[in-house]
Structure 1
Amino acid sequence: MTVPSVLVFAGLDPGGGAGLAADVLAIAAQGAHALPVATALTVQDNNRVHAVHPVDAGLVLRQAEALLARCRIGAVKIGIPGNRENAQAIAGLLRRLRAIDPDLPVVLDPVLASGGGDALGADDPVESLAGLPALATIVLPNEPEACHLGSLPCPHLLITGGHGDGQFVVNRWYRGGELARRWRWPRLPGDYHGSGCTLAAALAGRLALGEGMFDALGAAQAYCHAALAQSFAIAPGQRIPRRFLQPTP
């Protein structure tokens, strides 16, 4: 038997806290396998992004197509495209995949800026998504990102409340534009590097395993909360989620 694979498009964080490094561990922790395609090389640490260098769109496609020629894709997870050209290339590839498998789960984490407010692409962050939300099965913005993105055409939306205040983090799931469910999680102290990547990647892993959206959302959030609760420090500032945990049954 082959292990379900998740095709991942994201940037490389040399600090190992976010992007591809986070995605690989979070997906593996669910029992799936990540196929990481680099969309950008970054200069960053656990607190700040100092520079972002998008990978050439042709090379992004070549990375993905070599994998598609050999591997069955159970889900797709998208982080930062790096620029508009990369987003357009990824969108074209998604259309090809959907022509083969119309139900292929596509999870989009629309990262408009780092936790410290630094830019994560070469173009306007909303424009750099270039039609990807319309191809996504689910988009997972935090509350500030949801305000910037406005109405989204995807079937599912999870708005996360980690940037808010109060004793609890409230995440809201919208299905077909209607509020379907709220989850409340105790707000943990401290700041974390790559929490959004962790949640989106875990969700993609769960969907690749064949779980339904409701169950996958619940399990991915429980896993992410546990990873944050057991986070560790590599330097002063934002902590790193401990991602290699056993998945929640």
Structure 2
Amino acid sequence: MPDFTIDPPVVLSFSHLDPCGASGIQADIETLSSLGVHCAPICTSLSAQDTLSIHHSTPMAATLIIEQARAILEDMPVKAFKLGWLGNSNNIEAIHTILTDYPHIPVVFDPCLKLGEPEDDHFIQAIQALLLPQCDIVILNTVEAHLLAPEADNLRACASEIHSYDCEHSLITGCQNTANKIASHLYDVHGLLKQYQQQRIKKPFCGAGSTLSASITAYLSHDFSLLEAVQQAHKYTWESLNHGRRIGMGQLLPNRLYWAESRH
């Protein structure tokens, strides 16, 4: 469990506002706080979504995103950047300028492409050209991997294409699934680095990917190695899902503060 007696590391999070609390900014705040990290949230878009589906998303102004981020970076000792859904290519370009000015700060990217196709045609290309080269790790499900690597015919080839943009690591979730097991594969430029296999929780969830990526960021901000961070994040995410709750009429939400409730 996190040690709340010391000053927490700070993570600067760029993502959307999800009103049902499953993903985006609230997922990052809950996960990071649960793991002893202070989240400084920058809202990239406003979405209309519930536990059933996503209805609409409106990007924020890129100038406001830059202004917010620079205010935090000049005030707080940020240990890591967490990127989620960024809205459009203008926002990607804005965030790229921030990351370029702070190359020593690790970057975790969960693009959340399941939120839908943005209105501009250059969104995927902007991710490939401007963000992937800045990433210490990008977290993708199998559909997102193929969207970022459209020429690839399998997941290993997806990872290879993604790493051709100088991304250091990619974690592809939902690999080699069975009725009782679910696996994630961690890749680097040389190929498959490690496999993570867990017992499948046979319930529908929204926010699982956001929990995993935010918890990886949390452990990195606590100075865990990347392999240790990914390992511990899988354990934390599984427990959050195992203690998940049905709050709305759709999918279950992760219980990211499960460890606090278990004490009572």
Shift in alpha-carbon separation, 1:68–1:81, aligned structure 2, 3 A: same
Query: What's 2:40 paired with?
Result: 35
Query: What's 2:73 paired with?
Result: 68
Q: Distance in 1 between matches of 2:237 and 2:76?
A: 27
User: Structure 2 unaligned runs (5+)?
Assistant: 1-5, 150-160
Instruction: Quote how far apart the aligned CAs of 1:235 are.
Output: 1.8
1:6-155 matched pairs, under 5 angstroms: 6-98=11-103, 101=104, 104-114=105-115, 119=116, 121-124=118-121, 126-127=124-125, 129=127, 131-150=130-149, 151-152=161-162, 153-155=166-168
Answering whether residue 219 of structure 2 is matched by residue 222 of structure 1, we say: no
Instruction: Quote how far apart the aligned CAs of 1:177 are.
Output: 3.4
Structure with more of its chain in helix, by fraction: 2
Deviates more, 1:130-139 or 1:219-228: 130-139
Instruction: Quote how far apart the aligned CAs of 1:167 are.
Output: 1.8
Q: Number of aligned residue pairs: give it.
A: 239
Shift in alpha-carbon separation, 1:172–1:209, aligned structure 2, 3 A: same
Q: Distance in 1 between matches of 2:57 and 2:216?
A: 26
Percentage identity across aligned positions?
A: 31
Q: Distance in 1 between matches of 2:249 and 2:106?
A: 37
CA contact under 8 A between 1:6 and 1:205: conserved in structure 2?
yes
Stretches of 4+ moved more than 4 A in 1? 162-165
Query: What's 1:159 paired with?
Result: 172
Q: Which amino acid aligns with 1:205?
A: A
Deviates more, 1:59-68 or 1:126-135: 126-135
Q: Distance in 1 between matches of 2:175 and 2:250?
A: 17
Q: 2:215 aligns with which of 185, 202, 206?
A: 202
User: Structure 1 unaligned runs (5+)?
Assistant: none
Larger Rg: 2
CA deviation map 1:195-231 (0-9, x unaligned)? 1111000100110111001110100010001111111
CA deviation map 1:119-177 (0-9, x unaligned)? 16433552453521111100111111112212113111111117954321111111223
Q: 1:4 aligns with which of 1, 9, 13?
A: 9
Instruction: Quote how far apart the aligned CAs of 1:111 are.
Output: 1.4
Q: Distance in 2 between matches of 1:128 and 1:44?
A: 25
Q: Distance in 2 between matches of 1:177 and 1:204?
A: 23
SS in 2 for 1:14: coil
SS in 2 for 1:113: helix
CA deviation map 1:9-68 (0-9, x unaligned)? 000001111100001011111111111000000111111111101000000111111111
Q: Which amino acid aligns with 1:140?
A: I
SS in 1 for 2:216: helix
Query: What's 2:250 paired with?
Result: 237
Answering whether residue 206 of structure 2 is matched by residue 186 of structure 1, we say: no
* TM-score of the pair, normalised by structure 2: 0.86
Deviates more, 1:198-207 or 1:230-239: 230-239
SS in 1 for 2:13: strand
